[in-house]
């Protein structure tokens, strides 16, 4: 007789296999076979062969006088309907984000608005909202990509290994977290640290724009390609963008804000030879601070004993 007892050793081995494959977060209580096609999709991929004398449904659905619609590759009316519904829901999400962000009058209001916002699906899998760290009074803003595992646990950006690297980079030009405001493009961790989708970035962008509008930073440091490309509206990779000052143009401000793209601290941890380039960027940032009269607060001299 087959035993109904769960096989703990097999379950543990399966779990270990998942961990070795890179899974680091459980996002559901039950396993889910994502390779299985939902019934409808499977039926579309493998439509029953038309019987002799019958037209295929795509040809039969072609409206009179519109042969293009009869082409097997053109979307059928229901997929066009779905695309239109997706567009409508994306624009509703945008409108919702915009309305909530614009009603916020402070960073803490933005936090409350994000708690209320349901337009970013990452919220469902994240543990905590990560809005900012540092000083909302600071005139320099650092913008990263998205929270990682430790940020998700602690509810603050840049507190994991990349954050420690960022601290060392700031210290190299005489700064610490009390002199900068640190945030991200996204406020919830993408599962397994996958890249954010354009829809997730678009849903979160109004909240970043509102932070910039409320805090009026004088300089921006954009760490990594995702934030540099999004905020500067560029398509080049970070290795091309880094080290070149550009103007960030806020949708509701006349004055552009000088922005410097640089390498992401997490990238520097993987590619230490690139620290030389990051160091050049930091020196350039320090020069801009001096030009703007934003001198770092010098650390108090150590007391002699």
Question: 98 is written with which tokens?
Answer: 């915009």
In angstroms, the CA 243 to CA 42 distance is: 49
190 binding ligand URA? (CB under 6 A): no
* Rounded least distance, CB 303 to ligand URA, Å: 34
267 binding ligand URA? (CB under 6 A): no
**Residue 66 burial by Cβ neighbours in a 10 Å radius (0-12, 13-18, 19+):** exposed
158 binding ligand URA? (CB under 6 A): yes
* Rounded least distance, CB 144 to ligand URA, Å: 3
Q: Which helix (H) or strand (E) holds 140?
A: strand 140-144
In angstroms, the CA 274 to CA 10 distance is: 43
* Rounded least distance, CB 214 to ligand URA, Å: 20
Residues forming a β-bridge with 144 = 184
Which is closer to ligand URA, CB of 179 or CB of 183? 183
In this structure, the number of other CB atoms found within 10 A of the CB of residue 221 comes to 26
Of residues 151, 152, 200, 281, which one binds ligand URA by CB under 6 A?
151
φ, ψ dihedrals at 259, nearest 5°:
-130, 135
In angstroms, the CA 33 to CA 118 distance is: 26
162 binding ligand URA? (CB under 6 A): yes
Question: 176 is written with which tokens?
Answer: 């610490």
* Total number of residues that touch ligand URA (CB under 6 A): 13
* Rounded least distance, CB 21 to ligand URA, Å: 22
* Rounded least distance, CB 302 to ligand URA, Å: 31
Contact 129, 153 (CB under 8 A): no
Which is closer to ligand URA, CB of 133 or CB of 209? 133
Of residues 93, 110, 132, 147, which one binds ligand URA by CB under 6 A?
147
Site for ligand URA in 212-241 (CB under 6 A): 224
Of residues 126, 131, 140, 146, which one binds ligand URA by CB under 6 A?
146
211 binding ligand URA? (CB under 6 A): no
Q: What share of the chain is helix, strand, coil (3-state, %, to 5)?
A: 50, 10, 45
* Rounded least distance, CB 272 to ligand URA, Å: 17
Which is closer to ligand URA, CB of 190 or CB of 206? 190
Picking from 228, 223, 212, the residue whose alpha carbon sits closest to that of residue 136 is 212
* Rounded least distance, CB 169 to ligand URA, Å: 13
Of residues 145, 200, 246, 281, which one binds ligand URA by CB under 6 A?
145
DSSP string, 255-302: S-EEEEEE--HHHHHH-GGGHHHHHHHHHHHHHHHHHTT-PPPPPPPP
Closest-approach residue to ligand URA (CB) = 144
* Rounded least distance, CB 148 to ligand URA, Å: 4
Site for ligand URA in 67-106 (CB under 6 A): none
Which is closer to ligand URA, CB of 37 or CB of 269? 269
Task: Name, in order, each residue with C-beta under 8 angstroms of 125's C-beta and a sequence gap of 6 or more.
Answer: 25, 27, 188, 189, 191
Q: Which residue has the tokens 């007391």?
A: 303
* Rounded least distance, CB 114 to ligand URA, Å: 15
Contact residues toward ligand URA (CB under 6 A) are 144-148, 151, 157-158, 160, 162, 184, 224, 266
């Amino acid at each position: 007789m087959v035993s109904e007892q769960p096989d703990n050793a097999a379950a543990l081995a399966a779990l270990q296999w998942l961990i070795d494959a890179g899974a680091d977060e459980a996002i559901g209580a039950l396993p889910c076979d994502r390779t299985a096609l939902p019934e409808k999709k499977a039926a579309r991929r493998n439509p029953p062969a038309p019987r002799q004398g019958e037209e295929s449904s795509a040809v039969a659905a072609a409206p009179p006088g519109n042969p293009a619609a009869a082409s097997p590759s053109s979307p059928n009316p229901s997929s066009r309907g779905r695309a239109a519904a997706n567009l409508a829901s994306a624009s509703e999400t945008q409108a919702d984000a915009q309305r909530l962000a614009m009603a916020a009058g402070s960073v803490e209001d933005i936090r409350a608005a994000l708690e209320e916002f349901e337009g970013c699906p990452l919220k469902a899998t994240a543990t905590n909202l990560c809005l900012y760290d540092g000083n909302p009074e600071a005139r320099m803003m650092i913008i990263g990509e998205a929270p990682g595992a430790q940020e998700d646990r602690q509810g603050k950006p840049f507190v994991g290994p990349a954050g420690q690297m960022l601290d060392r980079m700031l210290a190299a030009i005489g700064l610490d977290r009390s002199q900068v405001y640190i945030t991200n493009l996204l406020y919830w961790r993408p599962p397994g640290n996958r890249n954010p989708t354009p829809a997730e970035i678009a849903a979160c962008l109004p909240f970043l724009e509102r932070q910039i509008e409320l805090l009026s930073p004088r300089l921006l440091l954009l760490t990594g390609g995702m934030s540099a490309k999004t905020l500067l509206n560029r398509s080049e990779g970070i290795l091309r963008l880094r080290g070149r000052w550009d103007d960030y143009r806020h949708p509701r401000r006349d004055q552009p804000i000088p922005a410097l793209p640089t390498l992401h601290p997490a990238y520097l941890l993987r590619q230490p030879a690139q620290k030389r380039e990051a160091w050049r960027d930091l020196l350039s940032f320090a020069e801009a601070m001096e030009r703007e009269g934003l001198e770092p607060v010098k650390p108090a001299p150590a007391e002699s004993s």
